[in-house]
Amino acid sequence: MLLNLISLFSNLLILFIPDTKATVILDKTQNQYKKMGGMEIFFDYEQVEKGKSTGQNKGQLLSKDHKYRLILKDFEIYNNSKIQYTYLKRNKEVQITNPEESENKYQPAQLAAIHKAGTHQAKYIKLYKSKGKNSHIIELIPESKTEAISKITLYISEKTNLIEKAEWQELNGAKTIVVFTKTVASRLIDDAAFELKTDALKGVHIEDLRDE
């Protein structure tokens, strides 16, 4: 009985000890993105369901301070930190809302800091070597067992400290994969880039959903 209790407490202790190596790498990565200020990121993304890809698409993220513009196949988001425009292309509709944070799967700077929110445990897996490049593999495990995402896996370049790829594994077996193909630092991004000119959109319904 005593040995069982000792084993139980030992296992619990291991769960609550932060993975220092993972934390150090993630902190370096977060600082690297902070140094950039504004940035333009190009990426490929796809979903895998029942072992089959639903197709690969390209996306683009432009960000500066608390502003961002996210371009995906089916929708676009323009956030100037005061107003958010979501352009639903298939529905031919623009929804105007109060600002919200972008989904972190397309925001590598947010991914690098997610372990500080207290919602995920970071775990260093290994150094992955492929085609002459080395990448640190780090898993982010949600603290809550009710999360639909069972884990997030990050591939971080040993050379640049930037995230090269991120994978979201869902409990139902589905997976989302985002490959960051190019990251360009720029502090000269014009604020107009985060505005959606609704007047230029013909045949599009505008829905204002902001709180009064």
pTM greater than 0.85? no
Q: How many CB atoms lie within 10 A of CB 136?
A: 23
74-123 pLDDT tens trace: 999 999 999 999 999 999 999 999 987 666 678 898 899 988 888 899 99
Q: Which residue has the tokens 């796809």?
A: 46
Exposure b/e, 59-80, CB count within 10 A at least 16 = b: bebbbbeebbbbbbeebbbbbb
35-85 pLDDT tens trace: 998 999 999 999 999 889 989 999 999 998 889 999 999 999 999 999 999
Q: What distance lies between CA 26 and its chain's CA centroid?
A: 13
Virtual CA dihedral for 26, 67, 64, 176, nearest 10 degrees? Answer: 40
Closest CA to 135 of 154, 152, 155, 153: 155
